[in-house]
Amino acid sequence: MAVLAALAVLLGAAPAAAAPADDTPRPTADPAAPTPTAPPAGGPPQGSAPGGVTVGGDGLDTRGTVVADGAPPLPDGVVAAGWLVADAGTGEVLAARDPHGRHYPASTLKTLTLLTLAHRLDPALVVEGTVEDEKMEGSKVGIVAGGRYPVGLLFQALVMQSGNDAANALARAAGGTAPTIAAMNARALQLGAFDTVAGSVSGLDVAGQSSSPYDLALFFRELVADPVTAGLLLTPTAQMPGVEGRSPGFQIQNQNPLAGYPGTLGGKTGFTDAARHTYVTAAERDGRRLVVSVMGTENVPLRAADQAARLLDWGFAVPASLAGVGRLVASADEVPAPPPTRTATPTPAGPAQVAAGPPAAAPAAGDGGPPALGLLALGAAAAAVVAATVIGRRRAVRRTPPPPAAASPGRRAPPGSGAGGSPSTPP
């Protein structure tokens, strides 16, 4: 990959002693730290690829709002702190606000969990429920200790009902929580999702965990393009088996709030105290697919899903011929390598506040089975990349968030773009 190759060159060209003193290690999640209970004061940090490269183009290096030239005015009511609208086919980003802001993702992180495990686990494999599954915090589908649940059903429970217990059971089937998280971070790295740091398999708040409107769009575009995961997103109902003496069987329903949106391809909600409301979705109209992500908002004046619906309507009204303000990359291969001078030439700038990307956490030892071995290999690859990345410099440019509604230099936020920050009204 271009980024990996560039890191290898930098590592070979400059000894560790030559690295600037203000280099900042790439961020990691820290489950031992106090659990965050509110969004970061002053807004989230901004992410970038190794060397400070802005994934998707310099037009997305902004904390404000950017819109494609010639596009109609943005809809009213879109007040989320971060959001993005992109053509899933061409990758053109039509508009965005704080696209690389590293927000807490809440359960929208389950899109990465599904993306990582969908082709690693046999859907017919049966997983036995545990007491740990029963005790998971937050939203649960109702797994019972001693119950027997096929992996395919657990995937449905993960997507349809945002089951944190289902996420825990799937991670156990894949070799354990630690190697699954390592694999999630490695998968994000492969896709060029450098703003994402997974610290849990469910999206429950963990200090240092993050994703961005840009990265959520990358994940969801992959999910809707894969027939296996696309089918899971659109499954309307599923049946949970009964457990004798513990629980009767029951039906679960898809809780996507835009299930009735014309041409929907699915959606995933999220909410925690630190993330507030998050949502990612996609839809198709006249052969054109759009993906929309919304992060850091409240339920008023509009729910996250309703803001996403307005952005979808707006996006379909944008002529397909218009050039975007950036683009969704297909993989990390498409992320430019940082200029070598970033390492060799010191600058008077202070330390970068953000050095985005997956954490360097080493995967825990698995049970020796095939899933664990595959996850350990991915975790080792991620750790190797992280070690090389520490040598690369980070930009200290635009890392202090201005007011979220401000337009980036050289771009304009058209009339009707709405406020930039999230309302403080509780849900």
List residues with catalytic annotation.
Answer: 107, 110, 162
Name, in order, each residue with C-beta under 8 angstroms of 38's C-beta and a sequence gap of 6 or more: 273, 274
Measured CA to CA, the distance from residue 85 to residue 214 in angstroms comes to: 9
Got the DSSP string for 43-111?
-PPBP--GGG--TT-GGG--SSEEE-TTPPPPPTT---SEEEEEETTT-EEEEEESTTB-B--GGGGHH
Given CA atoms 319, 320, 322, 327 in this order, what sign does their dihedral have? positive
Residue in 175, 189, 177 with CA at minimum distance from that of residue 387: 189
Cα 384 from chain centroid (whole Å): 22
In the beta sheet, which residues pair with residue 282? 291
Name, in order, each residue with C-beta under 8 angstroms of 384's C-beta and a sequence gap of 6 or more: none
Residue in 216, 219, 181, 228 with CA at minimum distance from that of residue 201: 181
CA angle 382, 34, 167 (to 5 degrees): 55
Name, in order, each residue with C-beta under 8 angstroms of 72's C-beta and a sequence gap of 6 or more: 314, 317, 318, 414
Measured CA to CA, the distance from residue 133 to residue 66 in angstroms comes to: 43
Token digits of residue 126: 């049966």
3-state secondary structure of 378: helix
3-state secondary structure of 6: helix
Burial status of residue 138 (CB atoms within 10 A of its CB: 0-12, 13-18, 19 or more): middle
Phi first, then psi, for residue 102 (nearest 5°) are -90, 80
Q: Is 268 annotated as a binding residue?
A: yes
Measured CA to CA, the distance from residue 88 to residue 75 in angstroms comes to: 20
From the annotation, which residues make up the binding site?
268
From the annotation, which residues make up the binding site for substrate?
268
